[in-house]
Chain A
Amino acid sequence: MSAAGVVKARGEALVEFTGVSVVFDGRVRALDDVTLAIGKGEIVGLVGESGSGKSTLCRVLVGLTPPSSGTVTVGNRPVREQLAQGALAFRRRAQLLLQDAVASLSPRMTIGRTLEEPIAIHALPRAEALARLSAILKRLGLSSDVLAKFPHQISGGQARRVGVARALLMRPEIIVADEPTAGLDVSVQGELLNLLLDLQREFGLTYLLVSHNLNVIRRVTGRTAVMYLGQIVEEAATRELFAAPAHPYSAALLSTNPAVDPRKRFERIVLQGEIPSAVNPPGGCRFHTRCPVAQERCTTDPPFLRPLEGDRSVRCHFPYSLDRRRH
């Protein structure tokens, strides 16, 4: 099973997922026929509810979860092959920022030891790596006193920066950030996102950014993929997606984020029920059981991700059929 049309990233693709599926225990279809291209220097957003496959997609990209079928390439070479020929070199290319920044730091190691550990593991020239580390810490606004501290002695915002420092030390090409602002107060999330944006420009980085915060996705990413039950149901330029979602699920999801200003608010589209189980997903279109505009065909005929006008693709037989209304 493969997509009829493949959306190409603008410019040179750094990452390409082609028909990627991941099946756990032979029955949980966590990812199903995912095709996605991420261009060099792009910031791509990934949205969807829990169980939609966002985290599995992230883990596949950085080589932590092998795909059951389909191929993933980073820099035009399959990840599988790169891992076989030198796992460490590949892991330096693609770094993962974990959702729980504090839990991703060992409570028994000082921040300094945590940051120096990868230098030994990857056998980097020590003097040079330490010099780079101190430059990175300075750039991230972390004073050298944090090195002597343990994770419980630093703030959540500092723990995020330590995670970013650890990733940057490897000179990655792509950073996969799983909910980088989760648990941060709104007054500080802007600062962290500005930092990530600056680093992207300075180091020519590529980001895949997962967030349930639709405001963050809208402000930070260039393109966005919307996931539902293991599949990408829509992918488009972020601006165009938010202006006019084509997939009914995208339309409903975006309507759940009320703006403070009532003039900018859309009428909420309330879906019935909850996201079905990935063990026994609905036949036909996976979204048909909750789709307010589903038709006969949707119950039997599974749609493929297909290109629409503009730089957009959608997995729906009847795109743009669910209209949002302003209040």
Chain B
Amino acid sequence: MRSIPVSGRSADDEVEVTSPLVSIRKLTLDATTARGTAHILRGIDLDIGKSRILGVVGESGSGKSSLAACLVRLLPANVASIGGEIVFDGVDLLALDERAMNAYRGTRIAMIFQDPMTALNPLFTVGTHLVDVLRRRHPGLPRDDAEQRAIAALGSVGIADAPLRLVSYPHQLSGGMRQRVMIAMALLVEPDLLLADEPTTALDATVEAQIVSLLEELRRSFSGSIVFISHHLGLVAQLCDDLCVMYGGTIVESGPVSEVLGAPRHPYTQALLACELDDEDAGGRLKSIPGEVPDPVDVRNACVFAPRCRYAKEVCLEGVPALREAGPGRRAACVRWEQIAFDVVEESA
């Protein structure tokens, strides 16, 4: 660990360049399917910075939800093997036994799921959900104290009449309210790492806007790191600090969100941005990426995007490209990104 002085502050008041909260190295995940072994994650290297919001984007089957599942080690039954390491604050989570891992869940790592209806237990009231979470985090906390904190938490996520809502059951709440309850539960945990798997996808547009505003507000008071999984690039651009783009079980590009989206290095990120139809003045044909997503069972020793890449050359089929530096704080898994960046500038000139 090293420290650098920051201008305008005294010498003792230095800001430390700290190690990341989570370091994922060579993470692999295989699952058994009827057709053979599916390689769901294929060697993920990723750091999650302290107090940063990391956006994870990718299409269905890219492995983004599986990555989150690995971080809490809540994996489906057909998982055949998991390899590599996930070092969380100095401890490799993959090396822990089930009991030791369980000590992290709902304490230092919390999760917000896509569908708040199935994530809340229909037999318990909102109050029971919140108090249970608190008592897990702070064993021995008196029930009255826990209830007071639960009421405060509901208020902080914008739920009016919090004392009344404490005795409501999940089915008595709207979708937006349920997601607010989920967020309140996650915040009561005060986790070091909060995983949010498409937390607004199931909500209507104006309710989604409310939840996004809430998350923006909360990030000022929340000191932990957030992994925000989404397929909505605009939302990620607005909410996140860092971005990681996944394709076919690999990370193809990572870096600060504005830089990755402002000048993508990997051809897949470029193609994905071109498919966003958000250009006000655009006309003509709509863009798409020809070809099909890679088959996780039939994995080749080549760039995973090469079959759909408009810039692919022979060299792209000679082994899996490493995720290598592509500017300050940026990495891309493309052997040709320098050349492609040059070609793109030439094309538009």
Question: Are A and B co-members of a single complex?
Answer: yes
- A residues with CB within 8 A of B: 49-50, 155, 185-191, 193-194, 212-216, 218-220, 242, 252-253, 255-262, 264-265, 268-271, 274-275, 290
- Residue B96, interface by CB 8 Å: no
Q: Does B77 contact A (CB under 8 A)?
A: no
Contact B271 A187 (CB under 8 A): yes
Binding site for A on B (CB under 8 A): 59-60, 174, 176, 204-210, 212-213, 231, 233-235, 237-238, 258, 261, 271-273, 275-280, 282, 285-290, 292-293
- Complex: how many Å from CA A216 to CA B287? 12
Q: Which of A186, A216, A255, A259 has the most CB of B within 10 A?
A: A186
**A49 and B210 contacting across the interface, CB-CB below 8 Å:** no
The one of B208, B209, B233, B275 in contact with A187, judged by C-beta atoms closer than 8 angstroms, is B275
Please pick, from B235, B280, B288, the residue contacting A194 in the complex, using a CB distance under 8 A.
B288
Q: Decide: A265 and B238 in contact? CB cutoff 8 A.
A: yes
Residues of B within 8 A of A220 (CB): 286
Please pick, from A213, A252, A274, the residue contacting B174 in the complex, using a CB distance under 8 A.
Answer: A274
The reply to whether B206 and A49 contact each other, CB–CB distance below 8 Å, is yes
A242: which B residues are within 8 A, CB to CB?
280
Contacts A242-B280, A258-B238, A268-B213; is A188 near B289 (CB within 8 Å)? yes
Question: Among B210, B233, B288, which residue has its beta carbon within 8 angstroms of that of A191?
Answer: B288
Residue in contact with A256 in the complex, picked from B209, B271, B279, B288, CB distance below 8 Å: B209
The chain A residue with its CB closest to the CB of B233 is A260
The 10 closest A-B pairs by CB, nearest first: A190-B288, A190-B286, A215-B277, A258-B234, A187-B289, A49-B204, A185-B59, A191-B288, A256-B209, A186-B275
Task: Given A256-B206, A256-B208, A275-B204, verify A262-B272 contact (CB < 8 Å).
Answer: no
Nearest-neighbour CB distance to chain B for A175, whole angstroms, equals 18
| Distance of A290 from chain B, by nearest CB (Å) | 8
A186 and B205 within 8 A (CB): no
Q: Which residues of A contact B231 (CB under 8 A)?
A: 185-186
Pick the contact of A270 from B213, B233, B275 — CB < 8 Å?
A: B213
| Closest residue on chain A to residue B62 by CB atoms | A185
Tell me the complex Cα distance, A264–B278, Å.
9
Given the known inter-chain contacts A219-B286, A274-B176, please indicate yes or no for A186 contacting B272, CB distance below 8 A: yes
Question: Which of the residues A190, A194, A262, A269 comes within 8 Å of B237, measured between beta carbons?
Answer: A262
| Bound Cα distance A290, B174 (Å) | 16
Say yes or no: A260-B278 contact (C-beta < 8 A), given A186-B272, A193-B286.
yes
The answer to whether A218 touches B277, judged by C-beta atoms less than 8 angstroms apart, is: yes
Residues in chain A near residue B204, CB distance under 8 A = 49-50, 212, 274-275
A260 contacts which chain B residues (CB < 8 A)? 233-234, 237, 261, 273, 276, 278
Pair A194/B286 contact, Cβ less than 8 Å = yes
- Shortest C-beta distance, A86 to chain B (Å), equals 38
Cα A269 to Cα B212 in complex, Å, equals 11
B198 CB to nearest chain A CB (Å): 13
Given contacts A260-B234, A271-B209, 11 further A-B contacts (CB under 8 A): A49-B204, A186-B59, A187-B272, A187-B293, A188-B288, A188-B289, A191-B286, A212-B205, A253-B206, A257-B205, A260-B273
